[in-house]
Structure 1
Amino acid sequence: MTDPESLADRVQEGDLRIHELEAEADFDTAAEARRLLVERETETDLETIGDYSFPAERAEPNIENMIGAAQVPLGVVGPVAVNGEETSPSSQNSPNSANEGGAASGEHYLPLATTEGALLASVNRGLSVIRSAGGADARVTKNGMTRAPVFRVEGVAEAAETVEWVEENLESLREAAESTTSHGELLGVEPYVVGDSVYLRFAYDTKDAMGMNMATIATEAACEVVEEETPASLVALSGNLCSDKKPAAVNAVEGRGRSVTADVVIPGDLVKDRLHTTAEAIVEANTRKNLIGSAKAGSLGFNAHAANVVGAAFLATGQDEAQVVEGANAITTMDARANEDGTTDLYASVSLASLEVGTVGGGTKLPTQAEALEILGLRGGGDPAGSNANALAEIIAVGALAGELSLLAALASNHLASAHEDLGR
């Protein structure tokens, strides 16, 4: 029998295992049977979890043992005014426009999914000020998804021999790695030696894919060549020098995924009229909070709350949410710039060292997330390849910058608590 009740019975009786249901029925029936099983065993009503709007089969590449979907409130902020790479003046005043190259020039509504009240209101305030200042500049300054296998050698002599071979035979490694993908390109390999361990940090241009799986498969092929040609023996395909989904100084210094910076100059009168403070006060708050305070805490993130925007954008657009860890690897800088007329403008920037985003593959193919990317005009691959992911990184960076501006202004003017009280959050 393939009705949900019967399938749930068979799992409870031990005739089927919970992960085998899709072999007995279609994906939606399997999800319903699994949901019934959980309801029985936990005495929980899962009506809302089971009320999802897409065929369960669409989620098959993304999850196992599906019982339904988690619904997170999704809103939009913007328009986000971005002067991205290859700026196209004709696109500057058109919502959702992007130039042919896929850079983020123009104005875009940015979907954000979150349960944190007041977040979108705060980001929107910052974006409004940025628009009034003529928009923010944003650039992807470095691109490279990394995977770092670890090898065992007998000692430093074999380690040196392995490193020398790798440095002299990059083309052989590139040929092996790129044979596994039609899109990815090996950019380089950085060796690290620790005693009898050799780490090779491979970096790839994965185009519009976030590219973690692509990098892993390509690196595995390259490792086979290393083992054949050197004394090194592979211990683990990931040796944590990548470093994926963990706070890591190597990502703050070398970058991972997209390294992207956004900046803007806010005229002094805008700071006063719209942010209700001064450039000097925001600069002091940033220095004492984001720089000195973060240094004293030993933080890798020297920012106010960049992860708020990164995390909300990741959930909305189908990114790997665990990589918010690296996305929070950001430095916010503020500077007061005096003018000849005696006024003072505010220079503001945020630099995200390791923003791992894509517009193809993974969760970007799920219906809700695909629609969110459609809002941005960035669904699927760009032309040229990689341009859509670059544009997404630029837009998220400007959104994060807006959030930094708004929060620091609220702190500098002592309005943070009252803002949350006014919104009842």
Structure 2
Amino acid sequence: MAVQDGLKNRGYERKDVNERFKAVEELTGERLTELTDYTFDPSIASKNIENMIGVTQIPLGFAGPVQINGDLAQGSFIIPLATTEGALVASVSRGMSVITASGGSRVRVFEDAMTRAPILRVDGIDHSVKVIEWISKHTKEIDEVVSSTTNHGQLMDIEAFPNGRNLHLRISFRTGDAMGMNMATIASEAICRLISKETGAVTVSVSGNMCTDKKPASINLIRGRGKHVIAECRVPKDIVEKKLHSTTQAIVELNTRKNLVGSAMAGSMGFNAHAANMVAALYIATGQDPAHVVEGSLCMTTCEDVDGDLYIAVRLPAVDIGTVGGGTRLPSQQAALRMIGCLGDEKARKFGEIVAVTVLAGELSTLGAQAAGQLAEAHKQLGH
């Protein structure tokens, strides 16, 4: 069997996977038996990967427990984290112990919309105006087209961004408990066909990069994409000193000079210590698309001195997650989602709250360690 059977013959019987594996061993001249130790039926992964030859395993640990006081995530949680970076789970666990000792974290999902942004070619300014006016006057027809493509998606908004003979449309959808990128793409293609038919605008691509998917972008930082979540905690002064071995004033100053001023000096779109660490570990554990760590890194961490206590918050404007479909079909990832009560329908917003609190815990712990001069020692002991 050819190694690159691709989509033509996906071949997810175990014998097909084994044949491809043997072919790869022959082509590379290497023994690769470490890739063949897995327990699930390969057919489960038929919608997740092509040319499957085995499994790459990543260590899974847990952080917590952590007290979460969300709208949907309420109570004490154990958080699954998959990583190869020593000290990360220990650091997040320390942050969670501080949050729990402080009464928990308040967290809320403020917005929830997946976006796709087609690019249309128009004849010029006047044509752009006509297309934009047509869209605003025919929302009912557009809604009907969207409904014909999905039982779960719902059109929320279409924003127009004209530029010369280019007309970008940033289309927002509610996508239920799926991350929703495929749903948004299919619905956007149907919208573009209708617009092209009625206005003469030519669809160049269903994605014109104003979505913006899997790339750092100011539009996601400002307007959000996926779930826009904020988590906060007020840590009493004595807990800061006892558990973080620092002071409120030192952590506030560090956050301002490092996360805010330092990030601005670097031209960064992420104003945080290491939010991507927690996002990546939780996404990999639970079957999310790891590329969406890019959007997860667009986090802003703020700290304030409130009557001597430390107020800390994280704003994550682009948390792209799902609790159905995609990688959540895989057995290990389903187990991780069950650990936090987030597998299946009506769970995605709850999961978004948990993501934000996990990031908050990691930020709190790392800022505390840096303010106390402990970061290098922790990595020397646990991660070297």
Q: Taking structure 2 as the reference length, what is the TM-score of the superposition? A: 0.98
Q: Who is 2:348 aligned against?
A: 389
- Residue 20 and residue 396 in structure 1: after superposition, are their counterparts in 2 closer, same or farther (change >3 A)? closer
Q: Who is 1:246 aligned against?
A: 215
The question of 1:111 aligning with 2:80 is answered yes
- Which amino acid in the other structure matches residue 420 of structure 1? H
The question of 1:284 aligning with 2:253 is answered yes
Q: Give the one of 380, 391, 408 matched to 2:344.
A: 380
- Supply the distance in 1 between the matched residues of 2:8 and 2:190 (Cα, whole angstroms): 34
Q: Give the one of 173, 190, 203 matched to 1:221.
A: 190
- Supply the distance in 2 between the matched residues of 1:400 and 1:76 (Cα, whole angstroms): 14
Query: Bigger radius of gyration, 1 or 2?
Result: 1
Q: CA deviation at 1:26?
A: 5.4
Q: Who is 2:359 aligned against?
A: 400
Q: Deviations over 1:314-355 (max 9, x none)?
A: 1000001101100111100000111xxxxx100000000100
User: Is the contact between residue 107 and residue 353 of structure 2 (CA under 8 Å) also seen in structure 1?
Assistant: yes
RMSD of equivalent CA atoms:
1.3
User: Is the contact between residue 301 and residue 314 of structure 2 (CA under 8 Å) also seen in structure 1?
Assistant: yes
The question of 1:52 aligning with 2:38 is answered yes
Q: Who is 1:312 aligned against?
A: 281
1:323-402 counterparts in 2 under 5 A?
A: 323-338=292-307, 344-382=308-346, 388-402=347-361
- Supply the distance in 2 between the matched residues of 1:295 and 1:323 (Cα, whole angstroms): 22
1:32-181 counterparts in 2 under 5 A?
A: 32-85=18-71, 103-181=72-150
Q: Deviations over 1:86-145 (max 9, x none)?
A: xxxxxxxxxxxxxxxxx1111111111000000000000000000000000010011100
Q: Who is 1:187 aligned against?
A: 156
- Which amino acid in the other structure matches residue 195 of structure 1? G
1:193-232 counterparts in 2 under 5 A?
A: 193-232=162-201
User: Is the contact between residue 22 and residue 30 of structure 1 (CA under 8 Å) also seen in structure 2?
Assistant: no
Q: Structure 2 regions of 5+ residues with no counterpart?
A: none
Q: CA deviation at 1:19?
A: 3.5
Q: Who is 1:27 aligned against?
A: 13
- Which amino acid in the other structure matches residue 81 of structure 2? L
User: Is the contact between residue 244 and residue 365 of structure 2 (CA under 8 Å) also seen in structure 1?
Assistant: yes
- Secondary structure (helix, strand or coil) at the match of 1:72 reads coil
Q: CA deviation at 1:424?
A: 4.9
- Secondary structure (helix, strand or coil) at the match of 1:123 reads helix
User: Is the contact between residue 259 and residue 354 of structure 1 (CA under 8 Å) also seen in structure 2?
Assistant: yes
- Supply the distance in 1 between the matched residues of 2:63 and 2:367 (Cα, whole angstroms): 18
Q: Who is 1:413 aligned against?
A: 372
User: Is the contact between residue 72 and residue 113 of structure 1 (CA under 8 Å) also seen in structure 2?
Assistant: yes
User: Is the contact between residue 170 and residue 189 of structure 1 (CA under 8 Å) also seen in structure 2?
Assistant: no
- Supply the distance in 1 between the matched residues of 2:147 and 2:8 (Cα, whole angstroms): 37
- Supply the distance in 1 between the matched residues of 2:361 and 2:213 (Cα, whole angstroms): 27
User: Is the contact between residue 7 and residue 50 of structure 2 (CA under 8 Å) also seen in structure 1?
Assistant: no
- Which amino acid in the other structure matches residue 52 of structure 1? Y
Name the count of aligned residue pairs: 384
- Supply the distance in 2 between the matched residues of 1:19 and 1:301 (Cα, whole angstroms): 37
Q: Deviations over 1:227-284 (max 9, x none)?
A: 1211311110100000000011110011000000000000000000000000000001
- Which amino acid in the other structure matches residue 390 of structure 1? R
- Which amino acid in the other structure matches residue 128 of structure 1? S
- Which amino acid in the other structure matches residue 398 of structure 1? V
- Supply the distance in 1 between the matched residues of 2:255 and 2:177 (Cα, whole angstroms): 34
- Supply the distance in 1 between the matched residues of 2:55 and 2:111 (Cα, whole angstroms): 35
- Supply the distance in 1 between the matched residues of 2:127 and 2:8 (Cα, whole angstroms): 50
User: Is the contact between residue 80 and residue 395 of structure 1 (CA under 8 Å) also seen in structure 2?
Assistant: no
Q: CA deviation at 1:171?
A: 2.2
- Secondary structure (helix, strand or coil) at the match of 2:35 reads coil
